[in-house]
Chain A
Amino acid sequence: MQELKNTIRRNIQQYTMIILLAVIWIVFGITTQGVFLTPMNITNLFLQMAFIGIASSTMVLIMVCGHIDLSVGSVIGFCGALIAYFLKFANWGIVPALIVTILAGSLVGLWQGFWVARMHLPAFIVTLSSEWVFRGLIIAVTNSQTIQPNNEAFKVIGQGYLPNIFGADASINGTALLVGVIAIVIFIITQFNIRRNKKKYNFAVESKGLFAARLILLSAVIAVFFWIFAQDRGVAVPLLILAVVILGVSFVSLNTAFGRHIYAIGGNREAAALSGVNVQKVTWILFILEGTMAAVSGIVYTARLNSAAIAAGQGNETDVIASAIIGGTSPAGGKGKVVGCVIGALVMASLENGMSILSMGSFEKYLAKGLVLLFAVAIDEVTKNAKN
């Protein structure tokens, strides 16, 4: 019991955000008379938040490092415009178009990294500048026209689903069930591996009961989601991309020297430098990573809409930053978890989606998003103080 209390206390922040998300879903479930919680709508919800979640993953690390990126919205739009241009007007194949667009995103990061890491300009200013520069470049690339690539392979990235192994007409999507089972199996195996390794070195592990409870609970959550997907169109490709990005970036942040150096820099830049951390190099690579993920996000976004407009991505930087913050990232640096941003992005997308079903307008949506952001951080601050 004491152990359970300690675990909860240590992870209180993550739990409050999950509870917040659950409350939002329950409220919308009731007020929309169940429409919000239908398998179709839940799938749509994930489709809507996937590109925000992708960009948020590295935004978390940028903020952990003590910086910010205000240019994400424009870079999403710019990379979307690029790939639309390549496919429609340059008649490139999907593969070269993808590669060059993603490289373009990395170059954007290289440029910003130069000013932030090498020239020591504040990231706030560098990325604010990029926000405008790339908004301008979108207009140049699209020639002020909305481009519709109409490329079938490209559309799959934003709106496709894995083919159903039960056959296209089956009422249940077998692929979703299969992927769900695989996910649960991988999850359980890795957890057991970690535990066995710790035991091998005689380190303290959580009690058997707690370990089992945690495994069952999280497996159940995975199962419920894939069961929901199975009743609708199955596993969406953008969701798969989101999962790969989140797991990848999260792994890098937790299990590589580069990742831990980011946390060290954000926690205490001078001490990190004196401990042999190459602050300039880490910051630079981080911005390149951020630009790359913005490109991936832009590709998914443009593919979903099958259109690259000059206003594409406008204002999305606020959603991306808010997702990171609601997910528990400290704007002051040093603290934050990559997986948290998925919850943050889900909270933002749920508000947007649920209020749309209730036919509310922009006025209410902005109001709700603004206040939820504020209260999420306020709750976090209060629980943190209570803990101390």
Chain B
Amino acid sequence: MEDFILQMQNITKTFPGVKALDNVSFDVRRGEIHALVGENGAGKSTLMKVLSGIHVYGTYEGNIVYNGEIQKFRSTRDSEHAGIAIINQELALCTNLNIAESIFLGNEIKNKQGIINWPETYKRTSEALERVHLSINPETKVLSLGVGQMQLLEIAKAISKNARLLILDEPTAALTDDESARLLSLIREFRSEGVTCIYISHKLDEVMSIADTITVLRDGQTVITKARNEITKSEMISYMVGRSLTQMFPRREHHPGEVLFEMKDWSVDHPQIKDKEVLHNININVRRGEIVGIAGLMGAGRTELMMSLIGAYGNNIRGQAYYNGEKIEIHSSEDAIKNGICYVSEDRKRYGLILMQDIRFNVSLPVLQRLSKGGVIDDNELLKEVAEYVTALNVKTPSLEQLTRNLSGGNMQKVVLAKWLMTHPTVLIMDEPTRGIDVGAKVEIYNIMNDLVDKGMSVIMISSELPEVLGMSDRIYVMHEGSITGELDYRDATQELVMEYCTGEKHMNKNN
């Protein structure tokens, strides 16, 4: 009989309108490194949130059997208490604290009077740091640590709480090769000490080098679990994407014209970390009446690329932008709008809408100057135009005075689109245009995109969903770690091929 530290049995987790996990079973042997791979949105993070008690017991179906007992976690504290520690993709550290304070945050070593025992805290901090081979003063501020060191600090924190099952979600996404190698050897070290590890990564090379067992998730279901030596990388890729395109994508024949917009030799440094280049020498263009897709995995730098174009991301931005063959200078969203370029953010609630205001306010916001006569807004004209776009995009709302926070995801996206169409753009950059939207609304958005392109508009679409990229784009760029690794015509593109560029397996500038 095999010794499983964890058995997740028939887990089903439903969000409004979406089945994120569908009857997933996931078994982890004691002391192994078990890799969990899958496309963006395959359900990896949701599964780990169920395990760590972020999605509390009762909000999902199925059982978590840990150390032979069914667990009913009501919070992350419960799962931590049981010895499960999760280290998230986005590090959750209070950067104003020092290392010792940070490691024992919420778990302070106190004497009977409730006063913190600092000597003991620092002693135990040093021990914890030693275990992750981080030779650094425990009084150092977290703020001054590099990303790699912060990662190690998170692990030290988990270990100091006696974690027996360590979950690492994309731990090397932000690390250099050197730092990644050190982290991997550390994880092996922990394995030899009997710590079990669930390792989530998009980097298949890493997975092949470190995992004992590999489980592939796709569309919220377990596809396969295999020992590392029984599976190849290309098999893994085909398990990750193995699904056929449905009729969801209303493919229309477009007739692209001349190049309308172009970015040349675009390089950008990290906004906080000095001299760390995050986007490398990127060249992309879009023609009139064309949909260009930009594919890539999370963290490939696609959003950063477009945000840097409108001056909302990065430092030391180098490169040129051309519109209709003429060089243009864009330093803000305002400049972009003047040049007919709009960026529709992936994060509607944060960057797209003023949630406390109504539809009319949001849709008219970028064009108030145009709708003013002698400095006074012509409210009737404004209402007329807003109503036109809102009706044309089929936003479902009782009135234009509906607060945008009360709208569904699909309607929010349509309101954001209406807002940008008010500026009469010629280049529409859409970042994850259908994220978090139900299927019906998705098709509506696709149809709108096709209509706009038929009218001569150019669309650049960033998408993490491969079927969407393949189904909608005329041409596809693929990004991997801040570089363009491939450019494909949609007729030549297959999910497997795009995924190979996404993972850096294939690179157009390298001969392999």
Give chain A's interface residues, CB within 8 Å of chain B: 197-198, 200-201, 203-204, 255-257, 260-261, 263-264, 267-268, 270-278, 334-335
Contacts and interface: CB of A to CB of B under 8 A. Distances in A.
Given A197-B380, A256-B372, A276 B354 contact: no
A259 to B, nearest CB: 8
A263 B357 CA distance: 9
> Most chain-B CB neighbours within 10 Å: which of A203, A274, A277?
A274
Given A198-B380, A257-B377, A263-B361, A268 B337 contact: no
A334 B368 contact: no
Interface of B: 310, 312, 332-334, 336-337, 343, 345, 350-357, 361, 364-366, 368-369, 372, 375-377, 379-380, 383-384, 399, 419, 423
A275 B419 contact: yes
Contact of B337 (A197, A203, A272, A276): A276
Contact of A256 (B354, B357, B377): B377
Contacts of A256: 368, 372, 375-377
Contacts of B368: 256-257, 260-261
Nearest to A270: B351
Give the 6 A-B residue pairs with the shortest CB-CB distance, closest first.
A257-B368, A267-B354, A276-B334, A268-B354, A276-B337, A276-B366
Contacts of B355: 267-268
User: What does DSSP make chain A's interface, helix, strand, loop or mixed?
Assistant: helix
9 contacts: A201-B380, A203-B383, A256-B368, A263-B357, A264-B361, A268-B353, A271-B353, A274-B310, A334-B356
Nearest to A200: B380
Given A261-B368, A271-B351, 11 more contacts: A201-B383, A255-B379, A257-B375, A257-B377, A260-B368, A273-B312, A274-B312, A274-B333, A275-B333, A276-B334, A277-B334
Contacts of A277: 334, 365
B423 to A, nearest CB: 8
A241 to B, nearest CB: 23
B369 A257 contact: yes
A274 B334 CA distance: 8
A198 B368 CA distance: 19
B437 to A, nearest CB: 19
A64 to B, nearest CB: 11
B354 A278 contact: no
A228 B353 CA distance: 47
Contacts of A270: 350-351
Nearest to A334: B356
A203 B382 CA distance: 12
A273 B345 CA distance: 12
Contact of A274 (B343, B356, B380, B399): B343
B384 A201 contact: yes
Given A257-B368, A334-B356, A274 B351 contact: yes
Nearest to B336: A276
B354 A264 contact: yes
Nearest to A274: B333
A260 B376 contact: no
B312 A334 contact: no
Nearest to B368: A257
A256 B377 CA distance: 5
Given A263-B361, A267-B354, A276 B333 contact: yes
A275 B416 CA distance: 10
Nearest to B310: A274
Nearest to B374: A256
Given A201-B384, A273-B332, A274-B345, A264 B379 contact: no
A289 to B, nearest CB: 14
A264 B357 contact: yes
Nearest to A277: B365
Contacts of A201: 380, 383-384
B89 to A, nearest CB: 21
B37 to A, nearest CB: 33
